[in-house]
Amino acid sequence: MQRNGPVALIFHSLVVAFMLAPMVVVCLVAFTPENTLTMPWNSLSLRWFEAVFEHADFMASFWNSVRLALLSATISTFLAVPAALAITRYEFRGRDALNALFLSPLIIPHLVLGVAFLRLFSLMGATGSFAWLVATHAIVVSPYTLRLILASLTSMDRNAENAARTLGAGEWTVFCRITMPLLLPGISGGWLLAFINSFDELTMSIFVTSPSTVTLPVRMYMYASESIDPMMAAVSALMIAVATVTMIVLDRMFGLDRLLVGKG
Amino acid sequence: MSFLSVRNVSKYYGPVAAVDSFGLDVEKGEFISLLGPSGCGKTTTLQMVAGLVRPSAGTIMMGERDITHLPPPQRELGVVFQSYALFPHMTVAENVSFGLEMRKVAKAERDRRVKDILALVHLLALADRYPREMSGGQRQRVAIARALVINPPVLLLDEPLSNLDAQLREEMQFELRRIQQVVGITTIMVTHDQSEALSISDRVVVMEQGRITQVDTPYELYERPRNPFISSFVGKSNFLAATAEHHAGGATISIGNTGITFQANDRPKGKHVSVFIRPEKLRLTAPSEGQIEGTVTSRYFMGNQWLVSAKTPAGTLSVAVQNFGAPPPPIGEKVGLVWRNDDCRVLAAGAAE
Amino acid sequence: MSASVSAARPRMVVPSLLSAPATLFFIGLVLLPLALTVILSFNSYDYTAGIQSDLTVSNYLTVLQDEYYYSTFWRTLRLALITTVIAVVIGVPEAYILSNMRKPWRSIFLLVIIGPLLVSVVVRTFGWSMLLGKNGFVNGALAAVGIEPVQLLYTETAIVIGLAHIMLPFMVIPVWTVLQKLDPTVEAAALTLGASRFTALRRIVFPQAALGILSGSLIVFALSASSFAIPGLLGGRRLKMAATLVYDEFLIELNWPLGATIAIIVLLANLVIMLAYNRLIEQQAKRKLG
């Protein structure tokens, strides 16, 4: 194993600074007592955090996003588990096409999906419906759940299932007692990734949300492109805090590198 | 009526026969090894007996019962997989108890039987460990215990020792035989390791390209292999080109370039034959005292014996010399080679080596 | 030997049943809306009467001929390309440095680099707008060393900086994955054979990582070219990229057919890139096999 030289370490420090800079600045500015985006050099204040919690629109959007992410991640899991079983366990015609279809939201830009959903819903007269918003998010996050479940299915020792069969377990018992427990890490990891991706999704949602279903990222985008005050920094700091906690949880449970980097 | 009877079972993948008309009768309590190189169909055969692969043709009988089309849960056979296939999310005790749960055995009895079987495989102390916390040999024992605890009529072992290192493998061979004999269970083991098959089986089934080529006791198999492939796959062999003159009582065999002739009881087909003789059946003597003279071209020290190669008019012959304490003649020295003609097997020439 | 008991059942029925819900869902909510959008892009638009149900290629002609549109496409391509180059120049050495780190540091810094993926793009972009703004921290730092403040926010530079920040993890991940699989003794072997550190990198490590770099580049390029939040917040009202253009057409100009046309062109460009990538991967795989 080679060691990194001093040049490499300086380079590395700069990259780390570059990656962290915007988030550090956001978190610091969030504590400013001033009315403008300034560093809290002299004193710290929580007034902008209080402002966030009193801002009805932001809170409504936050809960809206939470509900949306919970529902869409769960729906995508229920779609992905049987689909993944079909894809890994059976040879059938159109299997590759099906796999490509399920992973297509990764390749199709969210911008295009947003436009397409908007067109569909306007023809259906369903614009602004929360239920349909959930469906669009389920589509967008399905590839994440599917990929993780596919990965755990393919890496699973199928002889564990065969062993259970030889010991007298029926197909349903094998599924409940062996397959599902072994799939659980993949399912929960996929669910969490799906949750985060739904919670953070902006580009597609901005086309599909209506004033009553505005999600938090859309609300923040609108707010940031119109006025800039430290409340935006406070919201951002809160989101960074949530993301950090999620990251630590994910890392402890699954290893974030494995989850995000995948199997290559 | 034999205990387990596999009749004319074949498995085709498309036009390719992975197993071709496999037939075997197994007696109660027997330890059978399916031996062959990889791809010979031995594992497929085992999986068909286990019910994990459906035969394309043929029947499998357990006593009077036709089990050919029974799904695995209803066959109630014990299977040990090559990878052990332990349930990674269950402890040793939970793994072993799984089959009993499937049979709705009461909790108290389950605990008792799990305990008994873990005692048999010397794992009682590790009952609450998870598979990942155990060594390869220990996992192997768990897999055996899990298969045995349900009292299956037949135990099926798929390359059970191939994931263990050499020393442990030898130890587990005898352990496996001990457990098999204590329980008295009919056992079929798949292996590609000839020494494993010879040392612990009652009978060995040799398979080549989906077909059975010989079924015999280990001793018979080693001493009377039916074709050159088996003689070289099971143990080491010397082959000498020879011609046969057939007559009423047998055949007169002349080994090429040597003028050596002898009477053989074997009756191989054709005029051109191979004479094969095991290295340990050859002895080195002074040059003039042997049936044939040769020059030592190499010698390897194996610990308990030396493996000496000598170039002779009949070809290069390997000789196993017991390590009595004195080293055998060095490279370049003239030697004589002696053997008993009765120890020679005569096989049809052709596929030799 | 992989055949199993389940294969005994009718071949098509079980997998069809298992995949049916997802298949219906995806046909209804991916293929159908995409088809509708393609059709929409061939409809004409009238500012008083709205979307017409005729079929015409006039939208495509407009996009290709009107300077405003094709210059926006050109900017989109240019900025995406610059971002990709920057991501390679920063991301590849960083991935290599990460893979050379010792045990605890390696995973800690990998988290630092890829963790921001879990933070909303809006939040990170907002951070950059504070850093790059007229009275922002970059200009503050410049003023402190006596340099005139420069206009950064609402310039292409700002967009590229923001894109590079968002895209870096997508470059580091594939390269790091490839480097992980490399046998470290191979590089050591090159060194024992007399290669300098740099030569070993160039001749041994880099060629093996080429596929990871390529795959990272394509992802970065595709995501940059269709990114929305960064040009939206850092490019201001004037500097448009493809995604913000589509947004304007749909939600401000209300010329949906033209917006759909631009979206379809973005989609086609993406598909071409992905197909080319798959071809490359297949060729690579063939070369390795044969």
With respect to residue C145, please indicate whether it lies within any of the assigned structural domains. no
Among candidates A104, A110, A200 on the partner chain, residue whose Cβ is nearest the Cβ of C30: A104
Q: Is C248 left (phi over 0), alpha (psi -120 to 50) or beta?
A: alpha
Which helix (H) or strand (E) segment is C51 a member of?
strand C50-51
C95-121: average pLDDT: 89
Q: Is C55 on the interface with B (CB under 8 A)?
A: no
In chain B, domain spans: 4-229, 236-348
Among candidates A157, A173, A177 on the partner chain, residue whose Cβ is nearest the Cβ of B85: A157
Quick check: B353 pLDDT over 50?
no
- pLDDT on residue A260: 66
What domain count does chain C have? 1
Q: Which segment of B52-56, C128-132, C135-139, C202-206 scores lowest on mean pLDDT?
A: C202-206
Tally the residues of chain B.
Answer: 353
CB count within 10 Å of CB B151 equals 14
Residues of A in contact with C186 (CB under 8 A): none
Residues B79, A182: C-beta atoms closer than 8 Å? no
CATH of the domain at C189: 1.10.3720.10
**Residue B335 and residue B287 in contact, taking contact as beta carbons nearer than 8 Å:** yes
Chains touching A by CB (3 or more pairs below 8 Å): B, C
Residues B52, C8: C-beta atoms closer than 8 Å? no
Residues of B in contact with C1 (CB under 8 A): 43-44, 47, 53
Among candidates C173, C176, C226 on the partner chain, residue whose Cβ is nearest the Cβ of A109: C226
- Write the CATH number of the domain with boundaries B236-348: 2.40.50.140
Edge-first strand listing for the sheet containing B16-26: B16-26, B4-13, B57-62, B65-66
Reported as a single tens digit per residue, the pLDDT across B166-197 is: 888 888 899 999 999 999 999 999 999 998 99
Task: Indicate the burial class of C104 (C-beta count within 10 angstroms; 0-12, 13-18, 19 or more).
Answer: exposed
Q: Is C5 on the interface with B (CB under 8 A)?
A: yes
Q: Is B276 on the interface with A (CB under 8 A)?
A: no
Asked if the B4-229 domain carries CATH number 3.40.50.300, the reply is yes
Number of H helices, E strands in chain B: 9, 20
With respect to residue C112, please indicate whether it lies within any of the assigned structural domains. yes
- pLDDT on residue A257: 67
Question: Does B248 or C275 have the greater pLDDT score?
Answer: C275
* Residue of chain A with shortest Cα separation from B80: A163
- pLDDT on residue C4: 44
* Residue of chain B with shortest Cα separation from C3: B53
CB neighbour list of residue C87: distance below 8 Å, 6 or more residues apart: C164, C167, C168, C170, C171, C216, C217, C220
* Residue of chain C with shortest Cα separation from B47: C1
**Residue B78 and residue B156 in contact, taking contact as beta carbons nearer than 8 Å:** yes
Residues of B in contact with C5 (CB under 8 A): 51-52, 54, 71-72
CA distances from B84 to B42, B161, B322 (A): 18, 10, 39
Q: Is B159 on the interface with A (CB under 8 A)?
A: no
Among candidates C1, C3, C5 on the partner chain, residue whose Cβ is nearest the Cβ of B71: C5
What is the distance between the alpha carbons of residues C77 and C74, in angstroms, rounded to a whole number? Answer: 5
Residues of A in contact with C245 (CB under 8 A): none
B14-23: average pLDDT: 91
- pLDDT on residue C6: 43
Residues B73, A182: C-beta atoms closer than 8 Å? no
Range of the domain at C250: 60-120+156-289
pLDDT, averaged per 10 consecutive residues of chain A (264 residues), comes to 80 96 93 84 87 91 95 96 92 88 92 95 90 96 92 88 91 92 90 92 94 93 85 92 87 73 48
Tokens of residue B230, six digits: 């088996």
Q: How far is B34 from chain A (nearest CA, A)?
A: 20
Q: Is B86 on the interface with A (CB under 8 A)?
A: yes
Residues A22, C126: C-beta atoms closer than 8 Å? yes
- pLDDT on residue B157: 94
Residues of C in contact with A86 (CB under 8 A): 14-16, 18-19
What is the distance between the alpha carbons of residues B287 and B332, in angstroms, rounded to a whole number? Answer: 12
Reported as a single tens digit per residue, the pLDDT across C180-197 is: 887 766 777 677 666 777
Name the pLDDT band for B1 (thresholds 50, 70, 90).
low
Q: For an interface test with B, give the residue of A167, A182, A183 to mutate (most B CBs within 10 A).
A: A167
Residues of A in contact with B87 (CB under 8 A): 160, 163-164, 178
Q: Is C6 on the interface with B (CB under 8 A)?
A: no
Q: Which of residues 1-60 of B touch C (CB under 8 A)?
A: 43-44, 47, 51-54
B59-78: average pLDDT: 89
Among candidates B43, B44, B54 on the partner chain, residue whose Cβ is nearest the Cβ of C8: B54
Q: Is A139 left (phi over 0), alpha (psi -120 to 50) or beta?
A: alpha
- pLDDT on residue C209: 86
User: ipTM for the complex?
Assistant: 0.88
Q: For an interface test with B, give the residue of A155, A166, A175, A187 to mutate (most B CBs within 10 A).
A: A166
With respect to residue C3, please indicate whether it lies within any of the assigned structural domains. no
**Residue C97 and residue A2 in contact, taking contact as beta carbons nearer than 8 Å:** no
Residues B79, A157: C-beta atoms closer than 8 Å? no
The torsion angles phi and psi of B212, rounded to 5 degrees, stand at -80, 130
- pLDDT on residue C289: 54
Name the pLDDT band for C68 (thresholds 50, 70, 90).
very high
Q: Which of residues 38-97 of A touch C (CB under 8 A)?
A: 39, 78-80, 82-83, 85-87, 89-93, 95
Residues of C in contact with A256 (CB under 8 A): 110-111, 114-115
With respect to residue C84, please indicate whether it lies within any of the assigned structural domains. yes
Q: Is B145 on the interface with A (CB under 8 A)?
A: no
Q: Is B260 on the interface with C (CB under 8 A)?
A: no
Q: Which of residues 167-196 of A touch C (CB under 8 A)?
A: 171, 196
What is the distance between the alpha carbons of residues A86 and B347, in angstroms, rounded to a whole number? Answer: 53
DSSP B106-166: -HHHHHHHHHHHHHHTT-GGGTT--GGGS-HHHHHHHHHHHHHTT--SEEEEESTTTTS-H
Percent of chain C predicted with pLDDT > 90: 50
Which helix (H) or strand (E) segment is B251 a member of?
strand B250-255
Among candidates A163, A164, A168 on the partner chain, residue whose Cβ is nearest the Cβ of B103: A168
Residues C4, B44: C-beta atoms closer than 8 Å? no
Q: Is B340 on the interface with A (CB under 8 A)?
A: no
Among candidates B75, B79, B103 on the partner chain, residue whose Cβ is nearest the Cβ of A163: B79
Residues of C in contact with B44 (CB under 8 A): 1
What is the distance between the alpha carbons of residues C2 and C7, in angstroms, rounded to a whole number? Answer: 10
Q: Class of A56-261 per CATH?
A: mainly alpha
In chain A, domain spans: 56-261
B103-108: average pLDDT: 92
CB neighbour list of residue C198: distance below 8 Å, 6 or more residues apart: none
Average pLDDT of every residue of chain C: 87
Quick check: B352 pLDDT over 50?
no
Q: Is B70 on the interface with C (CB under 8 A)?
A: no
Q: Is B54 on the interface with A (CB under 8 A)?
A: no
Residues C5, B51: C-beta atoms closer than 8 Å? yes
* Residue of chain C with shortest Cα separation from A146: C22
Tally the residues of chain A.
Answer: 264
With respect to residue C257, please indicate whether it lies within any of the assigned structural domains. yes
Residues of A in contact with C137 (CB under 8 A): 25, 39
Reported as a single tens digit per residue, the pLDDT across B291-328 is: 888 999 999 998 889 999 999 988 899 999 998 888 88
DSSP summary character for residue B341? G
Buried b (16+ CB within 10 A) or exposed e, A22-51: bbebbbbbbbbebeebeeeeeeeeeebbee
Residues C22, A112: C-beta atoms closer than 8 Å? no
